């Protein structure tokens, strides 16, 4: 059992604190947290609680009861019961203790020289956990997620409106906004309930403020502002594309420098990152985004919305037999897909006029092959030019099976590391927003209640 000691408790014989010093410490406001086996005290830690931090002073375990993890349990108890950072000092030669603190998530802050007579002390710090509730409503998914420290998903709910918009062949902004409004409260509640957390456990509120459909974004933004105001928590603004990139951080911590290939319904971009939240846009599409081209081509081929997954599926059993143009094959990092899209539309129309049948599998394969070849070529060019060996794939089109295998093969050949989000993190979701928010906050991104949504904005 773990509990705080009081003056009736008797410390075991040890070399650190006498019973008198213990009583004096209590009167000075020091807290002793003890681990008991039955009513026998076997280990304790001693700390003082400051305004913004807890400073730990002693850790001591009865020599007869060492190596049983009692001190570890005491620290875990302390960590789980405070929202403050915890600071400790430890002798640089005490490897076992340093290993224990690292295991608990402590990081080295600095070194105090000759702190213990001849020995230096390491000052280590454990920041409180960031439990971020994130909201994403930029298109047709109402999504809420709770992410711990930018890496651990505690719960995510994604309510897709796809079936509603299918009938219209694409997302109808007004309908999307209305559905977000109807669902957002329920999705927040469901996400909290799945995580077993209370609103009070949330440390920050994050929201995708853009780019996207302005009316749809506003619903998530309003919900996020309301929560931030009511709970008195910081509000973190997250760029939707940063979210897509950080979906990869939920797979494995991002390694820098990296190139991100962002391919979604609204974006096709190559981005260089030299560190967390440092984005340098190398190039992007001059007209249609990849996902947009997929969806428009699919529509002409009579496939349901969203067309990307349909074309992906059909292409698997097709052959690259149709003669289609290669999109913008130059030495820049830019892309252009509208010419290719028009070529598919023209081909399909002229075949219809000539009453000749079109082989949809082959057309899907021919279109997809052109798209993937140019994405691959320009991505590898950027990796080579910037001498970067880490690649991450992001955005809804990252779900494309042919693109995933083409990049996997190319990276294996060159010994590059490649991270691809799990399918569930490729299309819009709030988990990626929560992951990005952790690093956005560290980079100084903060918002107040004047935050507005934007339909387009370059990633920064
Ligand atoms: O990232 P996302 O969910 O929304 C935007 O931010 O745009 O991406 C949606 C896009 C759609 O255009 C959809 O057709 C495309 O991603 N997509 C795919 C696949 N799955 C989704 N495109 C090609 N192949 C897929 N398997
Ligand atoms: Zn997206």
Torsion angle of C-alpha atoms 424, 383, 312, 141, degrees rounded to 10: 30
Say how many Å lie between the CA of residue 187 and the centre of ligand 1.
Answer: 22
Kindly indicate the confidence band of residue 123, based on its pLDDT and cuts at 50, 70 and 90: very high
Give the per-residue pLDDT at 115. Answer: 86
Identify the CA nearest to 376 among candidates 413, 429, 343, 350: 413
Q: Ligand 1 pocket check: which of 138, 268, 396, 429 to mutate, most ligand atoms within 8 Å of Cβ?
A: 396
Q: Which residues pair with 160 in a beta bridge?
A: 141
Q: Where are the alpha helices (DSSP H) in 196-257?
A: 214-231, 240-246
DSSP 3-state of 284: strand
Q: Quick check: 170 pLDDT over 80?
A: no
Q: Quick check: 167 pLDDT over 90?
A: no
Task: Write the pLDDT tens digit of every residue in 392-428.
Answer: 999 999 999 999 999 999 999 999 999 999 999 998 9
Give the per-residue pLDDT at 430. Answer: 98
Q: Quick check: 11 pLDDT over 90?
A: no
Task: Write the pLDDT tens digit of every residue in 293-331.
Answer: 999 999 988 898 889 999 999 999 999 999 999 999 999
Say how many Å lie between the CA of residue 174 and the centre of ligand 1.
Answer: 20
pTM assigned to the model: 0.86
Kindly indicate the confidence band of residue 133, based on its pLDDT and cuts at 50, 70 and 90: very high
* Ligand 1 shell residues, CB under 6 Å: 139, 264-266, 291, 294-295, 306-309, 312, 395-397, 399-400, 427-428
Q: Quick check: 209 pLDDT over 90?
A: yes
Helices and strands (H and E) in the chain: how many: 14, 17
Give the per-residue pLDDT at 156. Answer: 97
Q: Which ligand sits closest to the CA of 291? A: 1
DSSP 3-state of 157: strand
Say how many Å lie between the CA of residue 357 and the centre of ligand 1.
Answer: 28
């Amino acid at each position: 059992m773990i509990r705080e000691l009081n003056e009736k408790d008797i410390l075991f014989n040890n070399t650190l604190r006498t019973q008198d010093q213990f009583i004096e410490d209590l009167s000075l406001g020091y807290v002793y947290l003890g681990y008991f086996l039955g009513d026998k005290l076997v280990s304790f830690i001693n700390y003082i609680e400051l305004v913004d931090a807890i400073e730990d002073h002693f850790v001591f375990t009865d020599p007869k009861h060492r190596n049983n993890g009692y001190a570890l349990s005491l620290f875990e108890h302390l960590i789980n019961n405070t929202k403050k950072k915890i600071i400790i000092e430890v002798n640089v030669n005490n490897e076992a203790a340093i290993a224990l603190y690292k295991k608990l998530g402590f990081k080295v802050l600095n070194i105090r020289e000759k702190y213990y007579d001849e020995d230096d002390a390491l000052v280590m710090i454990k920041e409180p956990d960031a439990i971020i509730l994130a909201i994403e409503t930029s298109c047709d998914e109402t999504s809420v997620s709770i992410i711990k420290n930018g890496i651990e998903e505690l719960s995510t709910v994604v309510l897709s409106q796809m079936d509603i918009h299918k009938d219209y062949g694409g997302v109808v902004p007004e309908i999307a906004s209305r559905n977000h409004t109807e669902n957002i409260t329920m999705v927040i509640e469901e996400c909290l309930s799945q995580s077993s957390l209370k609103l009070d456990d949330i440390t920050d509120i994050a929201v995708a403020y853009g780019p996207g459909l302005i009316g749809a974004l506003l619903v998530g933004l309003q919900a996020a502002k309301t929560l931030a105001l009511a709970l008195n928590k910081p509000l973190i603004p997250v760029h939707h594309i940063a979210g897509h990139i950080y979906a990869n951080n939920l797979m494995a911590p991002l390694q820098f420098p990296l190139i991100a290939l962002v391919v979604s319904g609204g974006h096709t971009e190559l981005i260089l990152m030299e560190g967390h939240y440092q984005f340098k846009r190398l190039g992007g599409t001059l007209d249609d985004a990849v996902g947009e081209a997929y969806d428009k081509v699919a529509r002409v081929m009579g496939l349901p919305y969203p067309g990307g997954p349909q074309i992906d599926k059909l292409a698997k059993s097709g052959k690259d037999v149709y003669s289609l143009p290669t999109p913008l094959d130059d030495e820049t990092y830019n892309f252009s897909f509208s010419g290719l899209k028009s070529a598919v539309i023209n081909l399909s129309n002229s075949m219809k006029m000539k009453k000749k049948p079109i082989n949809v599998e082959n057309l899907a394969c021919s279109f997809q092959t052109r798209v993937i070849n140019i994405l691959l070529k320009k991505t590898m060019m950027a990796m080579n030019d910037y001498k970067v060996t880490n690649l991450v794939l992001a955005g809804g089109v990252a779900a494309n099976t042919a693109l995933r295998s083409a990049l996997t093969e190319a990276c294996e050949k060159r010994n590059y590391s490649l991270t691809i989000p799990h399918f569930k993190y490729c299309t819009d979701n709030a988990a990626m927003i929560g992951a990005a928010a952790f690093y956005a906050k560290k980079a100084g991104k903060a918002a107040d209640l004047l935050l507005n949504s934007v339909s387009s904005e370059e990633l920064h």
